[in-house]
Each structure stands twice: as structure tokens, then as C-alpha cells.
Structure 1
Amino acid sequence: MNIRRKKIGIMGGTFDPIHVGHLILGERAYEQLGLDKVLFMPAGNPPHKQHREGRATDKQRVAMVEKAISGNPHFELSLIEMNAEGFSYSYRTLEAMNRQNPDTDYYFIIGADSLYDFTTWREPARICRACTIVVATRDHVPSKELEDEMKYLSHQYDGHFLRLNTLNIDISSQLIRQWHQEGRSLRYYVPDAVIDYIRENNIYLSTKGENKYNG
């Protein structure tokens, strides 16, 4: 008798702040790949983003993720990378999860921009052995170019890369922070509960100490 293996998606990132692009990718991966659930996994101390002055605290980022995914029964918060043991490396996290849950297959969701940086990640071959990498289109990357890069990396690291069939969502947390500092509305780009939390906690204030956002 074959026991069905669980299929879990992972949406990692700093989520500073989380926005609708993250949520859409998570939902699309859930549907396309037939996942059991999608873990939203804030990075506690990502090595490529060590200097975070003027950003949300770890506690605030976790709170924003909680607010954004509440109400979706197949989205779940994971705090596995929120630790004080040092930098968060994806290969360590994935290997630990595989040890803890040997009956589960993991699908690591990344954007096309991250795909082109994949060779600079710590231990890319070990990441490939620990999960299937799901690539979402970003920044209007041509399909042929994206497919070629996925094939190259698959051959280079003996990995399994899947393309996520989704809209090209050109939105980033950096852009959201910039808009907020400029006093522009975040409505429809960020969940309302997250917008309220940002305003109530005075996150991402402008360098002049003033934030003009009014909607």
C-alpha cells in the first residue's frame, strides 16, 4: 500500500512588508502543484540583507505576515528561520525540515530575479537535493530566457526546477516602502490589515521623520 506523500510549498523572504504579490504566488503554487499547504517563512537574519536600518523589526514582519495570511486555511506561518543562531541559509532550513518530516516533499517558491542569483546562494546543490524549486516570472523576463536558465541550473546542480504559470507581477517590498515614504496609497497592493499595522506602528517612515500617507 502506497502512502501519499505530503506536498508543502515554501514562500520565503524578508516580507518587509508582505504584499499581494507574495499572496498571489502562494495561492497559484497551491493550485497548480496540488499542494497541501503553503508555509510563509520570514527570514530571521538573511545573509544578503544584513543592514536593515529603517525597516520593520523581526516581530513586526512576523505580525504583518500573520495578518496577511489569516483567513486562508492553506496558508501557514513558519518561524523556523526566526532564530538567534546566526544567518538564515536555505539549505540548512530545508535539510532540517526533511529530517523532521521524511514523508514530505517541499516546493521552494522563488522569483525569476532570485533564479539568476541562485549560483551565489550558499550550497545550491544541497538546496536542489532538498526540494523542488518553483520559479515565478518577474520583471518581464522572456520565457525562452527563463527556461534556458532553469535548464542550465538543473544540469549544473542536478536539480528539479518547475515554472509557475502566473501573471508577471512587478511589485516588490522595496517599491512598497518607497511609495509609503512618498505618501502614496498602498491600497490593493498590500492587505488592508497590513496597511493599518504599518501606520499604527510608524513603520517605514521617511528620512525626514515625516510620513504623508493618508490612504
Structure 2
Amino acid sequence: MENAVRKKVGIMGGTFDPIHVGHLILGEKAYEQLSLDKVLFMPAGNPPHKRNREGRATDAQRVEMVRRAISGNPHFELSLSEMEKEGFSYTYRTLETLKKEHPHTDYYFIIGADSLYNFATWREPARICHACTMVVATRDHTSVRKLDEEMTFLSQQYGGQFLRLDTLNIDISSEMIRGWLKEKKSLRYYVPDDVIQYIYQNNIYHSVREDISIDGTV
């Protein structure tokens, strides 16, 4: 098996509460620019840094929203690796398990600029770096120079490899989407239609009124 062809797999982790087009575009650009075989969308089951989840989607609802969002893309795949864990889910454990199960696969963990600046606070950052290549997307409020400086520093600190994606600065967050839902604003073109429909049908985030259509307009 020494000559087995190595695969390149991207991982989009997150709570996806809810998933939005920013996640999907980032996954697609990583697939394209890094010549990945596929991208795993991996909802976090019990992230230690987001313990207060009152008023949010359930685990099953978050999984279903991801499933619906990626269903039309043949190289996107839903992974429940972190949803099935007991206790808190930690990135280094997930990556080390995947590496053990798939020794001929190289993993690329995709994060946003905000997460990069918090990377030192993650559990076992050196072990994360040892198990994958970190892929970083830019955001509007972050300069490329500062981003590159931080990537260089973290690479030296933890012995890892950090790559910056050449992406559009799509500054969308799940928090922003939840805020729009509370304000009864339209989510059209920011969230896939099938996901919008699921949110309203299941009254996730307490968002539904009888006079609101699928796109959120009155």
C-alpha cells in the first residue's frame, strides 16, 4: 500500500447555526484552488467554546440544514464525525481519528480569519497542525498583511503549515442571519432556499409568522 494514491480532503467545521452561502462559497473555492477530492462539512456536536446554545437549532436541525445546503454539490459531503462524540468535540481528536482511519488522505482544515486569531486558544494547536494543513479565508475587516504575519507566527509556533485562500471577502455570519430572522428580514440569496424553507417550517430561532412567505417577506 506504499504506492497508494493520496487523497486531498477539505474539512469545513462549524456549528452551522444556520449554514449560509459564505460557508458554501468558501468550501467551493477551497475545493477549486487546492485541487481537493472533496470537502467534508462537519457540524460540531458540542463545541466547548459555544456552550450556551439556548434559542438555537438542535443538533438534528443543524445537520439537516447542512444536508439540504450541500445536496446539489457532488464534491461536498456531510460528515457526522463530531456529532457522534460524547462530551465536548475537539478538533485535534477528530483529525487524529480521521488520519488513523484514512492514512493515505491529507486533510485541509478550512477556517476564517477570525478563527485564525483565536487559534492559540484551541485545545492542542500543535497536534492540530501535525494532523492537517490549515487553510485560512480572508474577511473584509482583516488586512492581508496582518493575516500573513499571523500565519507565519503560528506556523513557527506550532510547526504547522498555513495556506491563505484567494477568495472574495464575503462577510456573512450565522449570528447576522439569526439577527435578520428576529427582525423578519429576507434571507434570500444569503441562505439556500431549501434551508430557508426548513427554518420557517420548523420555527427554528422562533422565526415564523403566518404572514411571512418562504423568502421572509411579508
What's the TM-score once normalised by structure 2's chain length? 0.94
Residues 212 and 180 (structure 1), Cα distance of their counterparts in 2 relative to 1, 3 Å cut? farther
Counterparts of 1:80-159 in structure 2 under 5 Å?
80-159=81-160
> How far has the Cα of 1:83 moved from its partner?
2.3
> How far has the Cα of 1:133 moved from its partner?
0.2
1:182–1:211 Cα contact (<8 Å) kept: no
| 1:55 match | 56
Residues 211 and 88 (structure 1), Cα distance of their counterparts in 2 relative to 1, 3 Å cut? farther
> How far has the Cα of 1:210 moved from its partner?
6.3
Deviations 1:93-134 (A, max 9, x none): 000000000000000000000000000000000000000000
Q: Provide the C-alpha distance between the structure 2 equivalents of 1:28 and 1:93, rounded to a whole number of angstroms.
A: 23
> How far has the Cα of 1:140 moved from its partner?
2.5
Deviations 1:154-212 (A, max 9, x none): 00000000001101111000000000110000000000000000000001126xx9697
Amino acid at match of 1:157: Y
- SS of 2:206's equivalent in the other structure is coil
Q: Provide the C-alpha distance between the structure 1 equivalents of 2:99 and 2:186, rounded to a whole number of angstroms.
A: 41
| Alignment: residue pair count | 213
List runs of 5+ in structure 1 lacking aligned partners: none
Q: Provide the C-alpha distance between the structure 1 equivalents of 2:33 and 2:86, rounded to a whole number of angstroms.
A: 35
Amino acid at match of 1:142: S
| 1:3 match | 4
User: Percent same amino acid among aligned pairs?
Assistant: 72
Amino acid at match of 1:113: D
Residues 186 and 5 (structure 1), Cα distance of their counterparts in 2 relative to 1, 3 Å cut? same
Amino acid at match of 1:171: I
Amino acid at match of 1:150: M
> How far has the Cα of 1:71 moved from its partner?
1.2
| 2:166 match | 165
Moved over 4 A (4+): 209-213
Deviations 1:13-53 (A, max 9, x none): 00000000000000000000000000000000000001100
Q: Provide the C-alpha distance between the structure 2 equivalents of 1:47 and 1:199, rounded to a whole number of angstroms.
A: 28
1:38–1:76 Cα contact (<8 Å) kept: yes
Let me know the Cα RMSD of the aligned residues.
1.5
List runs of 5+ in structure 2 lacking aligned partners: none
- SS of 1:179's equivalent in the other structure is helix
- SS of 1:204's equivalent in the other structure is helix
- Alignment of 1:190 with 2:191, yes or no, is yes
Q: Provide the C-alpha distance between the structure 2 equivalents of 1:195 and 1:109, rounded to a whole number of angstroms.
A: 24
| 1:179 match | 180
